[in-house]
Amino acid sequence: MTRVCVAGAGTIGSLFAAHLARVADVTVLTRREEHARALNEHGLTVTGRAEFTASVVASADPSSLPEPDLVIVACKGSDLDALVARLAGHYPGATLMTVQNGLGAEEVAGVHGAWPLLSAVTFMSGTRHSDVEVEYVLDTETWIGPNRGTSPDDAHAAADLIASSGLKAAAFDDLRPAQWSKLIFNATVNAVAALTGLAHDFHYAETARLGDLGLLVRGLMDEGKAVAAAAGVALWEDPWEMNVLATLRGHRHSPSMLEDVKARRPTEIELITGSLVREAARFDVPVPLHTALYVLVKAKEASYS
Amino acid sequence: MKICIVGCGAVGSLFAANLAQLDDVEVWAYDLSRAHVDAINAKGLHLSGVGEVVGRLRATADAGELPPCDFGIVATKAMHTEAAIRATAHAFAGGCVATVQNGLGNEETLATHVERVIRGTTFPAGKILEPGHVQWDVKGDTTLGPYELQPAPFVEVERLADACTRGGMPTYAVSDARGPQWRKVIFNASTNPIGALTGLTHGRVCERPDLRALVSGLVTEGKAVAAAQGIVLDSDPEDLIDHAAKPEVAYGHKASMLQDVEAERATEIDYLNGGIVRFGREHGVPTPLNEAIWALVKGVEQSWQQ
């Protein structure tokens, strides 16, 4: 059986760990000792789109866990550097897969060891109800592609493993087109939601009248598309079409950055919009709208104190 | 002469109570708040704060009670202009109507219901403490001028300005009142929504260099739209913004739009940034940042319905 270590047991990490435990030997690396103890004692319960409880072996100390074949680093982007630093010197035979929002997670992780790396982005979502219970809300795909020291076959193997666990996954020979599509979508929808308090719904696709929110959303996506084009990335999906499709389905999604702002937590603005703005500067593409939203969200974070 | 204040909120009350000090002026106030109207009729309209004034005037929530008036002074929030003037226009069939409201487009709305319109901008501010009692926070000047497309005769503009000044509200009659109006609109549109979106006070907005640069981006667009119409601003909004950021001026001031958003009250965004965008569109001036801010604040309002 494949041995998988899920590093970081937030919502996404918990969903990976519980599902994969049905088809692999799963260990969970937590930040807190008491979280590990709770997981060892109670297992990990999934509700929502699937209902089951999985047994996992958890610890806050990587050296006390058996050597894995695959490490899924599933923390928020803002915690990535610190988490992978704890893995330095461990698991030399394992492949590391990053699933953070934004760009550059692979580079951040790769600094701490020579592991082969897989790139991934995930669209699935859930709500964490406790250390040992996670609700599976959106059963959308995780996309995986090769990065340093890995091949498309490695990406396919990881995607097949995840798909066999009951989650949705797909492999790409080159993840960048999909990663950039998601980046542009996320940078736009998350920042607009964080500033307006408006969950992602039909308002985001309204373009009939001057001043409609959809016009701003489309403008932000056009800026992102210009950056992708300058970076030589042919997008996998048009982010505006992703937006229209998602809102047409009629449901209302609360993006993570909106949840962060409501709870007065630091957001992922630096990793998501920040990485787009920095790429834009690198390729000399003007992005005045993304820049405006970037400084507004940073200022909103500053208003917490 | 008879003057009717249309919309007797904080700013309308400042005009009403001060004008009521004059022997030669009969003041009426039209307002939808029955409690405010009843209190004014029972005990007079009381101002306290930077000035202590009690004005005796006739208030009503029924526009049918209004007599023919020489002047109207419209002081509602901008989104209520249409309904307010539609209800009261009959009282101004032989008179002139001035706006002292925030934002752009109020004159245009008044002109669809009354013949002679006066463009105006006012700086005094206050808040309603209780029915019949208004706190006067800030004194300041008012500027009035004929509305270009349906002007009031200049002698009438001067007559109203003189009455306001004699009553204790210093007011200037000018031939082109667009400069002060656009200066105030650009100031408000470039700072109020930034406070509303971020939760920061005016001073904290200005001390973040990247955010202050966004404010300047909004100011620059607004100035370009004003310039395209041949409007000469009476002073640079940038100077006002920096002045207001000083600790002794308004560093800790929460923009009124931030207060509106915190209370989930409709904002005047359509008439501030929305007005700049619409006038920009008419005159071929791009205003992408004002359009973005307009859409974001509308999004905030939409989130209250979710």
The CB-side HSE value for A205 (13 A sphere, CA atoms) comes to: 17
* Chain A residue at shortest CA distance from B289: A289
Check pLDDT > 80 for residue B228: yes
Q: Please count the residues of chain B.
A: 306
pLDDT for the residue A254: 87
pLDDT for the residue A104: 87
All residues at 6 or more sequence positions from A95 whose CB lies less than 8 Å from its CB, including other chains: A69, A70, A71, A115, A116, A117, A118, A150, A154, A158
A156-203 pLDDT tens trace:
999 999 999 999 999 999 999 999 999 999 999 999 999 999 999 999
How far is the alpha carbon of A236 from chain B, nearest alpha carbon, in Å? Answer: 27
In the structure, what pLDDT confidence band is assigned to residue B256 with cuts at 50, 70 and 90?
Answer: confident
Among A189, A206, A207, A213, most B C-beta atoms within 10 A, so best to mutate, is A213
pLDDT for the residue B77: 94
How far is the alpha carbon of B264 from chain A, nearest alpha carbon, in Å? Answer: 12
Check pLDDT > 80 for residue A250: no
In the structure, what pLDDT confidence band is assigned to residue B128 with cuts at 50, 70 and 90?
Answer: very high
Report chain A's mean pLDDT, rounded to a whole number. Answer: 96
B199-219 pLDDT tens trace:
999 999 999 999 999 999 999
pLDDT for the residue A234: 97
> For chain B, what percent of residues have pLDDT higher than 70?
100
Beta strands in chain A (DSSP E): 3-7, 25-29, 44-48, 52-54, 57-59, 70-73, 95-98, 117-122, 125-130, 133-138, 142-146, 169-171
**B24: burial class by Cβ within 10 Å (0-12, 13-18, 19+)?**
exposed
> For chain A, what percent of residues have pLDDT higher than 70?
100
Check pLDDT > 80 for residue B179: yes
Chain A touched by B286 (CB under 8 Å): no
All residues at 6 or more sequence positions from B74 whose CB lies less than 8 Å from its CB, including other chains: B6, B7, B81, B84, B85, B97, B98, B99, B100, B101, B106, B110
| Contact check, Cβ <8 Å, B198/A216 | no
In this prediction, residues B262-269 reach a mean pLDDT of: 95
pLDDT for the residue B259: 87
The alpha-carbon radius of gyration of chain B (Å, integer) is 19
* Chain A residue at shortest CA distance from B296: A196
| Contact check, Cβ <8 Å, A303/B306 | no
A62-115 pLDDT tens trace:
999 999 999 999 998 889 999 999 999 999 999 999 999 888 899 999 999 999
B271-296 pLDDT tens trace:
999 999 999 999 999 999 999 999 99
pLDDT for the residue A130: 97
Chain B touched by A192 (CB under 8 Å): yes
Chain B touched by A252 (CB under 8 Å): yes
Instruction: Indicate the range of A39-48, A131-140, B79-88, B249-258 predicted with least confidence.
Output: B249-258
| φ/ψ (deg, to 5) at B194 | -70, -40
Please give the ipTM for the structure prediction: 0.90
pLDDT for the residue B255: 82
* Chain B residue at shortest CA distance from A216: B292
Check pLDDT > 90 for residue B169: yes
A296-305 pLDDT tens trace:
999 999 999 8
pLDDT for the residue A122: 92
pLDDT for the residue B26: 98
Neighbours of B2 (CB within 10 A): 17
Neighbours of A165 (CB within 10 A): 21
Check pLDDT > 90 for residue A208: yes
Q: Say what angle helices B10-19 and B154-167 make with each other, to 10 degrees.
A: 90
Closest residue to B303, CB basis, from A197, A289, A292: A197
Beta bridge partners of A26: A4
* Chain A residue at shortest CA distance from B290: A211
In the structure, what pLDDT confidence band is assigned to residue A147 with cuts at 50, 70 and 90?
Answer: very high
Which amino acid would we find at residue B215?
V
| Contact check, Cβ <8 Å, B214/A292 | yes
pLDDT for the residue A148: 97
In the structure, what pLDDT confidence band is assigned to residue A249 with cuts at 50, 70 and 90?
Answer: confident
CA distance A48 to A184: 28
